[in-house]
Chains A and B, each alone.
Chain A
Amino acid sequence: MSQIETFYDVMRRQGITRRSFMKYCSLTAAALGLSPAMVPKIAEAMETKPRTPVIWVHGLECTCCSESFIRSAHPLAKDVVLSMISLDYDDTLMAAAGHAAEAAFEDTIQKYKGNYILAVEGNPPLNEDGMFCITGGKPFVEKLRHAAKDAKAVISWGACASYGCVQAAKPNPTQATPVHKVITDKPIIKVPGCPPIAEVMTGVITYMLTFDRLPELDRQGRPAMFYGQRIHDKCYRRPHFDAGQFVEQWDDENARKGYCLYKMGCKGPTTYNACSTIRWNEGTSFPIQSGHGCIGCSEDGFWDQGSFYDRVTDLTQFGVEANADKVGMAAAGVVGAGVAAHAAITALKAAQKKTQSSKEEA
């Protein structure tokens, strides 16, 4: 145990004092919307935990999720990879290839049965017997099923894994299929977006490491802490919407004043994501702040909802809440999925208790 470097070790070694470390834990708690009472628990987790093995597989995708992940500023991607998780298989970043890579994959599954997290970027195509996405000479879907079988939990990174994304847009020629339609017996955390925000990705992982549980999920299986509200709800341009001040045309006077982009097709009113609060790339900006409407990339089937410049038509200015709620409900799918996920969380916790060697608060 003493050989294993914990997150606390990392911070101490970088010259960070105990006091600053505790402050970091407080900030983490605040960022995750947790009460100050949780701070000691976060601190303890970071002081004692060995690194959790992660297998990160890639189906049909564009790698934007991996690219987003490495943009994380807090925590830094290097600290996640060196000190928080053990990324034992990730074909985008790993040193080994071919047989040696496949061996690392198998070895991790065998060694950490039931204790590794499976992160899925992209999705499996089911047409052509799955051979529209081949890895190791076999259909990707086989690899996905194999890795999922003994995983503790599955993270569906991004719109591809969560909903299908662009290759599943009509007519979906490869029958690209989201992960939860192929893996039906595991807790799945959907982290949608094309890609998801970097700090949301690392936030989900650190939450799981810190609290030994899945984040609370909404009916669609998304972490409620990051996907609980519409972009519109927290948009800094919302007062302009309420005041009826709109951009009427690209680069007009109103655009230069930062008015609301609703009339330019902004999908903020129907999109659940943290873009308007956490923002992108260390809080630098987000699409609306940079003058383009939201295209709704974290919503199911956003490619097939008409042009990105079509106004959200069933939205009247004062009826926005009710209408957008309806949109959210319609997209939410069956309630049963949420129940299943909850049952799985319980199972997960039980499994963890069994295997955790470190002391754990009741």
Chain B
Amino acid sequence: MVTTPNGFDLDTTGRRIVVDPVTRIEGHMRCEVNVDDDGVIRNAVSTGTMWRGLEVILKGRDPRDAWAFTERICGVCTGTHALTSVRAVEDALGITIPDNANSIRNMMQLNLEIHDHVVHFYHLHALDWVNPVNALRADPKATSELQQAVSPSHPLSSPGYFRDVQNRLKKFVESGQLGLFKNGYWDNPAYLLPPEADLMATTHYLEALDLQKEIVKVHTIFGGKNPHPNWLVGGVPCPINVHSTGAVGAINMERLNLVSSIIDKCIEFNKNVYIPDVKAIGGFYKNWLYGGGLSSQACLAYGDIPENPNDFSPEQLHLPRGAIINGNLNEVLDVDPRDPDQVQEFVDHSWYDYGTPGKGLHPWDGVTEPRYELGPNAKGTKTNIKELDEAAKYSWIKAPRWKGHAMEVGPLARYVVGYAKGHEDIKDQVDGFLRDMDLPFDAIFSTLGRTAARALESEYCGRLQKHFFDKLITNIKNGDESTANIEKWDPSTWPKEAKGVGMTEAPRGALGHWIKIKDGRIENYQCVVPTTWNGSPRDTAGNIGAFEASLMNTPMERPDEPVEILRTLHSFDPCLACSTHVMSPDGEELTEVKVR
């Protein structure tokens, strides 16, 4: 038994369970745990199993292009890397953006938060709580009554509607071709919903699938497509023309009306479906309060959604900035991404090499030399891993730390930081939720709390999206149609050398890009992304990361069926393509490796 510096007792003597692939996530991930004789998790090992090397690819490129490259880090949180990138470039070159560009960017970012949260809950996470096979046993009439009780204003609630969906499911299941539901753990006692709640939630899985394609049209209008809309250093690429000839080629009244109608749809869905579902499902799981992990002791948020352009001071941000350590919610520390002692990455347990063990490096000075090797106690071979050795290197994810602390990031971290700072909207939401659920404050430090925070945030982002739409209209009314600042578009206007930082709150948490520009080209580019924080392996001191911490001490109904592991890992909405792409900033050549 070992106690980690961040207070977790690790016991590796019990049976080892391997989950690979971890599904319903973005990218590739593996998880190993040891369970004791009672099936309780006593050791957890989380491994990022992919690496793409995007930052070395960025070296020497035009900084104005970087948004497109970094956007391709992730197609699920599409756009958020692009926004972070244009912010980093603008920060480096001292470029300010117009008010309209700020409103449009905020709407796009908020739109992504809502889309991402909805798709995550219904299509990646729901099957950890909801049993679609059990839904076949539901009484449609009782389901209708349940629907009307939990959400009186949702129009799709008749017994006939639920009967139709149930019949469709029935035919699907009886066809023998179970598709995505194949080999699910449908008789596992970890599923607690009555059939009617299962039918209601499964129905909403389908409703959300229809809705999500509508939500993203805000990106399509302002950025031309989704996934991967277009962005612009200095503002946004879409011009505004609401009055004159040629308006049909720009953001005009028809486009704005479409945006407005989608914003309303988001608000309606959050209010009528998403929040009521989380409360209804959560109600049946309110005694399953495992998975808190680091959330009660170490949370980090960079903050986002600036009310005014070019002002990132904490009090101007709608999503809060701050850090909480040692579980002290009475003190929220400020975060400075430029401070070399705050954000540092460690690689002692990652498949990289710094030369010197135990070193932590700030992203501006980071070094990444891949070094894939398994520890002496690993089982299997280098190309057929049976069990990893977490005492050695075991992940393609680095271990970022804030002042040496392993941190949780994401909706729950944002809400904990916001709550601790007395953010009024967040406090109202959290208090209201806990009151409705009849749960104490500490209940938010859990898998369920993480899932609930995401839903509450989706609701809040819906309101903010409307706020920035109104702000855009007001500004246009006042005669300002400007959307881009081109003063420094031409690289000849740039200084010989510059460096900058861009920060956002991606749906999954704090996201930072660090850029160095030299002679008009990218000299160095580093991203430290949410799942690098949450999914980090152990650091030099032995602190475990947020995923690993969250799995600790969770009992499993059937250790061979990882329902509980999936439920808690999914509550972070892991994004592995994001987390595992770091590369050498000084452009060191990769060690030549054997080519098949």
Q: Chain A interface (Cβ within 8 Å of chain B)?
A: 3-5, 9-10, 13-14, 50-51, 53, 58, 60-68, 70-73, 76-78, 81-83, 85-104, 107, 125-141, 165-167, 169-176, 194-195, 198, 237, 249-251, 255-259, 275, 280-282, 284-292, 295, 297, 303, 307-309
Most B C-beta atoms less than 10 A away, residue of A3, A97, A169:
A97
With A103-B183, A135-B21, A281-B217 already in contact, the answer to whether A97 and B566 are too (CB < 8 A) is: yes
Contact B206 A78 (CB under 8 A): yes
- Say yes or no: is B184 at the interface (Cβ < 8 Å to chain A): yes
Contact B225 A100 (CB under 8 A): no
Contact A166 B224 (CB under 8 A): no
- Say yes or no: is B234 at the interface (Cβ < 8 Å to chain A): yes
Of the candidates B223, B229, B230, B481, the one whose C-beta lies within 8 Å of that of A256 is: B481
Contact B249 A95 (CB under 8 A): no
In the complex, chain B residues whose CB is within 8 Å of the CB of A83: 172
In the complex, chain A residues whose CB is within 8 Å of the CB of B249: 237, 256-259, 289
A interface footprint on B371-405 (CB within 8 Å = 1, 0 otherwise): 01000000010111110000000001000000000
In the complex, chain A residues whose CB is within 8 Å of the CB of B489: 249-250
Contact A87 B180 (CB under 8 A): yes
- Say yes or no: is B209 at the interface (Cβ < 8 Å to chain A): yes
- Stretch of B299-307, B505-513, B587-595 at the chain-chain interface: B587-595
- Inter-chain CA distance A72–B8, complex, in Å, is 46
In the complex, chain B residues whose CB is within 8 Å of the CB of A140: 28
Contact B213 A72 (CB under 8 A): yes
In the complex, chain B residues whose CB is within 8 Å of the CB of A85: 179
- Say yes or no: is B583 at the interface (Cβ < 8 Å to chain A): yes
CB distance from B57 to the nearest CB of A (A): 5
- Inter-chain CA distance A103–B561, complex, in Å, is 13
CB distance from A106 to the nearest CB of B (A): 11
In the complex, chain B residues whose CB is within 8 Å of the CB of A303: 57, 69
Of the candidates B72, B178, B224, B561, the one whose C-beta lies within 8 Å of that of A290 is: B224
Contact A128 B370 (CB under 8 A): yes
- Inter-chain CA distance A127–B372, complex, in Å, is 11
Closest-by-CB residue of A relative to B580 is A132
Contact A92 B26 (CB under 8 A): yes
Of the candidates A90, A98, A175, A194, the one whose C-beta lies within 8 Å of that of B228 is: A194
- Stretch of B48-56, B269-277, B430-438, B538-546 at the chain-chain interface: B48-56
Q: Chain B interface (Cβ within 8 Å of chain A)?
A: 18-28, 30, 49-54, 56-57, 61-62, 64-65, 68-69, 72-76, 78, 119, 123-124, 127, 164, 167-168, 171-172, 174-185, 206, 209-210, 212-213, 216-217, 219-230, 232, 234-241, 244-250, 258, 370, 372, 380, 382-386, 396, 481-484, 486, 489, 560-562, 566, 577, 583, 590, 593-596
Interface of B: prevailing SS: loop
Closest-by-CB residue of A relative to B592 is A127
Contact A258 B248 (CB under 8 A): yes
Contact A281 B123 (CB under 8 A): no
Of the candidates B64, B481, B595, the one whose C-beta lies within 8 Å of that of A126 is: B595
Contact A280 B224 (CB under 8 A): yes
Of the candidates A73, A102, A173, the one whose C-beta lies within 8 Å of that of B583 is: A173
Contact B175 A5 (CB under 8 A): yes
Closest-by-CB residue of B relative to A290 is B224
In the complex, chain B residues whose CB is within 8 Å of the CB of A82: 168, 172, 179
- Inter-chain CA distance A139–B380, complex, in Å, is 13
Report 30 cross-chain contacts, Cβ distance below 8 Å, ordered by A residue.
A5-B171, A9-B171, A62-B577, A63-B74, A71-B226, A76-B209, A81-B180, A83-B172, A95-B184, A97-B21, A97-B562, A101-B21, A129-B594, A133-B28, A135-B49, A136-B20, A139-B383, A166-B69, A173-B57, A195-B227, A250-B486, A256-B239, A256-B249, A257-B245, A275-B225, A282-B217, A290-B221, A291-B250, A292-B237, A303-B57
With A97-B566, A282-B217 already in contact, the answer to whether A251 and B28 are too (CB < 8 A) is: no
Of the candidates A13, A138, A251, the one whose C-beta lies within 8 Å of that of B486 is: A251
Of the candidates B54, B221, B482, the one whose C-beta lies within 8 Å of that of A284 is: B221
- Inter-chain CA distance A100–B127, complex, in Å, is 15
Contact A255 B250 (CB under 8 A): yes
In the complex, chain B residues whose CB is within 8 Å of the CB of A127: 590, 593, 595
In the complex, chain B residues whose CB is within 8 Å of the CB of A70: 119, 123, 209, 212-213
Of the candidates B61, B183, B225, B560, the one whose C-beta lies within 8 Å of that of A280 is: B225
- Inter-chain CA distance A285–B259, complex, in Å, is 12
With A70-B209, A291-B238 already in contact, the answer to whether A174 and B51 are too (CB < 8 A) is: yes
Contact B593 A134 (CB under 8 A): no
Given contacts A51-B179, A129-B594, A133-B49, 18 further A-B contacts (CB under 8 A): A62-B73, A63-B74, A82-B168, A85-B179, A88-B177, A100-B184, A134-B50, A135-B20, A138-B385, A167-B52, A249-B486, A251-B482, A256-B241, A256-B249, A256-B250, A286-B224, A307-B61, A307-B62
With A96-B184, A195-B75 already in contact, the answer to whether A292 and B49 are too (CB < 8 A) is: no
Closest-by-CB residue of A relative to B219 is A281
- Inter-chain CA distance A295–B21, complex, in Å, is 34
CB distance from B552 to the nearest CB of A (A): 19
In the complex, chain A residues whose CB is within 8 Å of the CB of B481: 256
- Inter-chain CA distance A254–B51, complex, in Å, is 43
CB distance from B242 to the nearest CB of A (A): 10
In the complex, chain A residues whose CB is within 8 Å of the CB of B382: 129, 131
In the complex, chain B residues whose CB is within 8 Å of the CB of A291: 224, 236-239, 250
- Inter-chain CA distance A3–B383, complex, in Å, is 43
- Inter-chain CA distance A256–B227, complex, in Å, is 25
Of the candidates A67, A131, A286, the one whose C-beta lies within 8 Å of that of B75 is: A67
In the complex, chain B residues whose CB is within 8 Å of the CB of A4: 175, 177
With A101-B23, A137-B386, A194-B72 already in contact, the answer to whether A53 and B486 are too (CB < 8 A) is: no
Lowest 5 A-B CB distances belong to which pairs? Answer: A258-B249, A64-B75, A257-B246, A287-B224, A95-B184
Contact A51 B175 (CB under 8 A): yes
Of the candidates B62, B213, B241, B594, the one whose C-beta lies within 8 Å of that of A282 is: B213
In the complex, chain A residues whose CB is within 8 Å of the CB of B74: 62-63
With A64-B228, A285-B220 already in contact, the answer to whether A251 and B30 are too (CB < 8 A) is: no
In the complex, chain B residues whose CB is within 8 Å of the CB of A135: 20-21, 28, 49
In the complex, chain B residues whose CB is within 8 Å of the CB of A107: 182-183
Contact A101 B78 (CB under 8 A): no
Contact A292 B181 (CB under 8 A): no
In the complex, chain A residues whose CB is within 8 Å of the CB of B486: 249-251
- Inter-chain CA distance A50–B370, complex, in Å, is 47
- Inter-chain CA distance A340–B204, complex, in Å, is 45
Contact A3 B179 (CB under 8 A): no
- Inter-chain CA distance A29–B180, complex, in Å, is 29
Closest-by-CB residue of B relative to A254 is B246
Of the candidates B19, B50, B181, the one whose C-beta lies within 8 Å of that of A95 is: B181
Closest-by-CB residue of A relative to B123 is A93
Contact A284 B175 (CB under 8 A): no
- Inter-chain CA distance A258–B168, complex, in Å, is 46
In the complex, chain B residues whose CB is within 8 Å of the CB of A284: 217, 220-221, 258
Contact B19 A97 (CB under 8 A): yes
With A3-B175, A98-B18, A137-B20 already in contact, the answer to whether A60 and B50 are too (CB < 8 A) is: yes
- Inter-chain CA distance A171–B179, complex, in Å, is 39
With A97-B21, A129-B596, A308-B65 already in contact, the answer to whether A281 and B246 are too (CB < 8 A) is: no
Contact B75 A63 (CB under 8 A): yes
- Inter-chain CA distance A198–B213, complex, in Å, is 10
